[in-house]
Amino acid sequence: MGVVSVAKAASNYINNKIEVKKEWCKGCGICTALCDHNVLLLDNRGKVVVANPLSCVGCGKCESHCPDFAISVERSVTKRQEVGAKS
């Protein structure tokens, strides 16, 4: 008689996309101050750049607090499930 062992693990993959409209950004730095994950940084011209996109958790603080509406965050989560083998 065989033993069936099934292990299910679900993990979420976050694939958020951040767009910065540099022509709208005045370089106030609000977004960089609010981002706890160092996703956004100011470049040498004082404009926001997406420096670490994979660190984005999609909280939307940068988008909702930007006074110039220069940032948009597209939140995307993909769910993956793994199933173990029989033994």
Domain count, the chain: 1
Q: How many CA atoms lie within 13 A of 17 on its CB side?
A: 3
Q: Is residue 36 domain-resident?
A: yes
Please tell me what DSSP assigns to residue 2. Answer: P
With a threshold of 0.75, does the pTM exceed it?
no
pLDDT of residue 75: 86
Q: Is residue 44 domain-resident?
A: yes
Q: Is residue 1 domain-resident?
A: no
* pLDDT one-digit tens code per residue, 5-30: 333 334 556 678 999 999 999 999 99
Q: Is residue 3 domain-resident?
A: no
Does residue 31 or residue 2 have the better pLDDT? 31
Give the residue numbers spanning the domain of 18: 10-83
Q: Is residue 49 domain-resident?
A: yes
Q: What is the CATH number of the domain that holds 71?
A: 3.30.70.20
Pairing of strands 8-14, 48-50: unpaired
Q: Is residue 37 domain-resident?
A: yes
pLDDT of residue 84: 55
